Chains A and B, each alone.
Chain A
Amino acid sequence: MSCLTISDLYDYLEEGLSPERMNEVKAHLLGCRRCRRAAEERQLIAEAASTLPPFEVPEDFPERVMSRISRPKVKGSGWLIGLVSGSSLLTLISVVLIASGRNALEFFSGASQTFWESAKNAAVLTAKLAALISLIGRTLRSLLEAVSKSLSVLTSFLHPGVQIFILVLALGILASLFYGLRKKLSIGD
């Protein structure tokens, strides 16, 4: 008999050959040192692999699993949540109706009356606010018009050179005021 193949060797070690073939291989191993050493080597590795120490499982592992199983995630159930919420709302309304001793018509007419009262109050408040804003706008406009008219009257009396001088002077005063204030308040340091 020729030397063993790897498959023969493993099949022999795992007792996966027919009885006749097992005997043939056994006989060959007795007479062939090379194949015998190959078989021994593989047998040792298999023994080591089959007796590896187990991984430690935490004591509370089953409880952890059970806690996840008892609260499974429900995916794609938006309609179900909607249905449950709707039913809950209806139940709540029914309980309120029964507790208050009113019928559904009274309840809903009462609710709609409250809603319209609130809407009316909100509309009145909005109108008053709009009137106030419009008044402020009109006042500001008149003020700006008066300032503009005064300026145009002044410029018609003065020579353009004097106007430029006054403008430069005004700008200078403004700039010195700004820097003076900045220094006083230590802005930007």
Chain B
Amino acid sequence: MIVRKYQQPLLGYVSRMVGQREMALDFTQDVFVKAYASLRTYEPRYKFSTWLFKIASNLVIDHWRKKKIPSFSLSEPLGRDDDGLTLEVPDDEPSVPRTFELAELRRKVETAMERLPGSLRELFVWRHVNELSYEEMAEIKDLPIGTVKNRVFQAKEMIRRLLEETS
């Protein structure tokens, strides 16, 4: 059954986008209802999961707009000259993640994710939690693969810096 197959990945994504569990459950239901209502528009050349995530993403963006939650367009620069992608490794200090146990590191990553701008958080979740390929993400967001990849790297670097701040 389609719902059983996709409920977990969709809820994992939506929960991290909207924050509240009950709202995330409602949104995830909305994704399936909307998908059912617009089945005729589904093109079989795309993966079904990609199509579902696109519907979910549109619902999330609508929610952000209604709630006036700030996010930024993925096609706009982050406002830093180097786009936040300069290799930063202090020579003598211990590596940040090594100072945490894995379980603690997971909790810290989850918390750091909440502090990412919505559009970067979305890509990070798709890449690491839902394990989507860059091609799939580019298709969902209708952006060039290079842009998506760059934004995912930026999200990862932001997470790393946030972990550094909390260590």
Interface string of A36-67 (1 = CB under 8 A from B): 01101110111111111111011001101110
Given A4-B87, A48-B106, A58-B25: A66 and B3 interface contact (C-beta under 8 Å): yes
Query: When the two chains form their complex, are residues B129 and A49 in contact, meaning their CB atoms are under 8 A apart?
Result: yes
Contact (Cβ within 8 A) B12 A6: no
Q: In angstroms, how far is the closest chain A Cβ from the Cβ of B23?
A: 13
> B85 touching A38 by the CB < 8 A rule?
no
Decide yes or no whether B69 CB sits under 8 A from chain A: no
State whether A52 touches B109 (Cβ < 8 A): yes
* Interface residue range, chain A: 35 or more
Contact of A50 among B15, B24, B128 (CB under 8 A): B128
Name the interface residues of B71-111: CB closer than 8 Å to any CB of A. Answer: 85-87, 89, 91, 95-98, 102, 105-106, 108-110
Could you tell me which residues of chain A, from 103 to 141, have a CB within 8 Å of some CB in chain B? none
B8, B85, B91: which contacts A6 (Cβ < 8 A)? B85
Q: Is B159 an interface residue (CB 8 A)?
A: yes
Are A49 and B159 touching (Cβ within 8 A)?
yes
With contacts A5-B87, A7-B153, A52-B109 known, is A37 near B159, CB below 8 A?
Answer: no
A126 to B105, CA, bound (A): 86
Give chain B nearest CB distance to A62 CB in angstroms: 4
User: Considering only CB atoms, which chain B residue lies closest to A41 in the complex?
Assistant: B95
Complex CA distance for A166 and B25, rounded to whole angstroms:
85
Q: Give the interface size bracket for B toward A.
A: 35 or more
With both chains docked as a complex, state the minimum distance between the C-beta of B77 and any C-beta of chain A, in angstroms.
16
**How far apart are the CA atoms of A44 and B101 in the complex, in Å?**
10
Residues of B116-167 contacting chain A, CB below 8 A: 124, 128-129, 131, 149-150, 152-153, 156-157, 159-160, 163
Provide the residues of chain B in CB contact with A4, threshold 8 Å.
87
Asked if A69 is at the interface (CB within 8 A of a chain B CB), the reply is yes
Asked if A42 and B3 make an inter-chain contact with CB atoms under 8 angstroms apart, the answer reads no
B7 located at the interface, meaning its Cβ lies under 8 Å from any Cβ of chain A in the complex: yes
Task: Note all chain A residues with C-beta closer than 8 A to B97.
Answer: 41, 44-45, 48
CB distance from A17 to the nearest CB of B (A): 12
Residues on B with C-beta less than 8 A from A49 are: 106, 109, 113, 124, 128-129, 159
Query: For the complex, is B55 an interface residue (Cβ under 8 Å from A)?
Result: no
Q: Is B128 a contact of A6 with CB atoms below 8 Å?
A: no
CB distance from B151 to the nearest CB of A (A): 12
Assuming A50-B128, A52-B129, is B95 touching A40 (CB within 8 A)?
Answer: yes
Per-residue contact bits, chain B 27-52, to A (CB 8 Å; 1 contact, 0 not): 01100110011000000000000000
* B106 and A41 contacting across the interface, CB-CB below 8 Å: no
Contact B12 A37 (CB under 8 A): no
Contact yes or no, B156 A55, CB < 8 A: no
Chain A residue numbers with a CB within 8 Å of B36 are 69, 72
The 0/1 profile, CB within 8 Å of B marked 1, for residues 4-38 of chain A is: 11110110000000000000000000000111011
Chain B's closest residue to A70 (CB) is B36
B84 → chain A closest CB, angstroms: 8
CA–CA, A37 and B11, complex, Å: 34
- Are the C-beta atoms of B160 and A45 separated by less than 8 Å? yes
**A168: interface (CB < 8 Å):** no
Q: How far is the CA of A44 from the CA of B167 in the complex (A)?
A: 15
**By the criterion CB–CB under 8 Å, are B128 and A9 in contact?**
no
* Contact sample, A vs B, 10 pairs, CB 8 Å cutoff: A5-B85, A38-B87, A40-B95, A41-B95, A44-B95, A48-B109, A49-B109, A51-B106, A52-B106, A61-B29
